[in-house]
Amino acid sequence: MRKFIVFTILTGIWSISPVLGQNPVFITQQKGPILYFHVANDNVHTTADVYTLSGKRIARVFDKIVSHGDYSFNPFAGSNLPQQMYIVRLTNGTRTESISMMNLGNTSISKSNLNPNQALSAKLAKVASDNKVPTNIPGVFTIAAPPQGFDPVTAKDVDLAYYGFPPRPDSSISPKGFAAWKKGVTLSKTRIMPILKQTNLHYSPMQTTSPNWCGIVAEPHNPFTHAYGDNGCVYYLYGTFMVPVAQQAHGSCTGNWDYGASWLGIDGFFNHPVDLLQSGIAFDAYCNGGVTYTSYYAWYEWVPAAAVSIQNVTITPGDVIWIEVWSTSATEGNVYVSNANTQQSFYIDFQAPPGTQLLGNSAEWITERPLLSNGQLATLTNYTYVPFWDSYVWTFGGSTYPFSDPYGFGINMVDASNNVISKQGLPGENSVVTEAAGPALGGNYFYDPW
């Protein structure tokens, strides 16, 4: 061991120097003052302690529940320890490894892969799991109402998670974004225990041009260079929209159902990977003999699985809906949906379909026509308008970014003949208005301005 220390000091190469433990598999490398390690499993309680070379423990420098991924930290950051050699001991679940490191003083870390929000989200997932209740679909969970007087605005992060509330954004970074979240989590007085029903509708990733999506996609910088949980990746998004009136195109009464939905989701825009975590409101219209029947319901979905509807939550035109979608790992999704008019809300925790992993390289607010069970695109409901407002996306790094270029992509929807059937407009940084157009509105019925 002494030889090794001499060697590293002489050459300036800081490499792995396990002095305790049998299998040095999770400390991956050391560069300068930064220690890197890998965690293979989720929800692993990980600690790091600094020891003198004589084996006396001086300080605990890392204490977090983390999910699988790569982490790094400076064990001596912020400490006033003398600049000399120490032993840093990592305990990761049942395994312990140690490494000898020189304290280089208060070296600032310009960029760290250690992501506080990712670590926090994993911790919160563990906390929430203690309060989860199974639903009528295996593997899908919900959480009951918090106790009387519980205030989600002032509650601790762990209590928010325990009671099925979405993570809280930083008010200092975006006061308006925080105010929107605050409004969203305080709307509801009645937590619904959802009764779920599997549908055969698929709200799908965006097809190019696009025949199925209309709305706004916000993407982080360099959407192709991130891994799940990186600072630049989408952690959560939320927004408010108003449920439209479902009707068929003016002048039409087809004897069939038209379909439409507005939703918020993560991924599904860039081709790789083809996953999409989403939750929204469906507004479908059937017309026969001049009489229109409508269907409104809330749903969630993780592509490539089909949508699951919530049977016991009331949705009607004009309802103001607040939705937040977030992940607690690459394979665990969460949605919180609140209806301002009925004051009902629900929380759902669900797993990715087998083989699917979230990446978090896009966030979107979309009005869509789904794929029916026969694989065909539905006829879009004439929904007139769906305005979205108070719409924010937050990254694991704790930042939020607006819809304006280069982060936002406005998308119009077209039919098979390339007519625009749904258009989007951006009235501001955190708002998008989608509107039925052309044949979906009843273009042939009008002096068609499109």
* Member of 341, 351, 412, 419 binding another protein (CB under 8 A): 341
State yes or no: residue 384 binds another protein (CB under 8 A): yes
Residues 6+ apart with CB under 8 A from 299: 199, 203, 261, 279, 280, 281, 282, 307, 308, 309, 310
Do residues 348 and 134 make contact, with C-beta atoms less than 8 angstroms apart? no
State yes or no: residue 315 binds another protein (CB under 8 A): no
CA dist 126 and 61 (Å) reads: 22
State yes or no: residue 151 binds another protein (CB under 8 A): no
CA dist 59 and 379 (Å) reads: 64
Q: Which C-beta is closer to another protein: that of 20 or that of 245?
A: 245
Q: Which C-beta is closer to another protein: that of 233 or that of 246?
A: 246
**Strand 291-303 to 261-266 pairing:** unpaired
State yes or no: residue 448 binds another protein (CB under 8 A): yes
CA dist 369 and 361 (Å) reads: 23
Shortest spacing between CB 167 and another protein, in angstroms:
22
Residues 6+ apart with CB under 8 A from 360: 220, 226, 228, 229, 230, 233, 234, 235, 266, 267, 327, 395, 396
Burial bucket for residue 376 (CB in 10 Å: 0-12, 13-18, 19+): exposed
What's the one-letter identity of residue 96? T
User: Beta-carbon neighbour count of residue 395 at 10 Å?
Assistant: 22
Shortest spacing between CB 394 and another protein, in angstroms:
19
Do residues 272 and 298 make contact, with C-beta atoms less than 8 angstroms apart? no
Contact segment (CB under 8 A) with another protein among 160-168, 271-279, 311-319, 347-355 equals 311-319
What's the one-letter identity of residue 418? N
Q: Which C-beta is closer to another protein: that of 323 or that of 359?
A: 323
**Strand 344-351 to 190-191 pairing:** parallel
Question: What is the size of the binding site for another protein (CB under 8 A)?
Answer: 39
State yes or no: residue 389 binds another protein (CB under 8 A): yes
Q: Of 70, 69, 20, 83, nearest to 49 (Cα)?
A: 20
State yes or no: residue 332 binds another protein (CB under 8 A): no
- 305: tokens are 């699985």
* Member of 145, 340, 372, 420 binding another protein (CB under 8 A): 340
State yes or no: residue 272 binds another protein (CB under 8 A): no
Q: Which C-beta is closer to another protein: that of 75 or that of 184?
A: 184
* Member of 18, 317, 398, 410 binding another protein (CB under 8 A): 317
Shortest spacing between CB 206 and another protein, in angstroms:
24
Shortest spacing between CB 371 and another protein, in angstroms:
26
State yes or no: residue 433 binds another protein (CB under 8 A): yes
* Member of 33, 69, 220, 244 binding another protein (CB under 8 A): 244
* Member of 31, 156, 189, 272 binding another protein (CB under 8 A): 189
State yes or no: residue 52 binds another protein (CB under 8 A): no
Residues 6+ apart with CB under 8 A from 111: none
State yes or no: residue 245 binds another protein (CB under 8 A): yes
Interaction site with another protein (CB under 8 A): 176, 179, 183, 189, 240, 242-245, 247, 250, 316-320, 340-341, 343, 384-385, 387, 389-390, 425-431, 433, 435, 441, 445-449
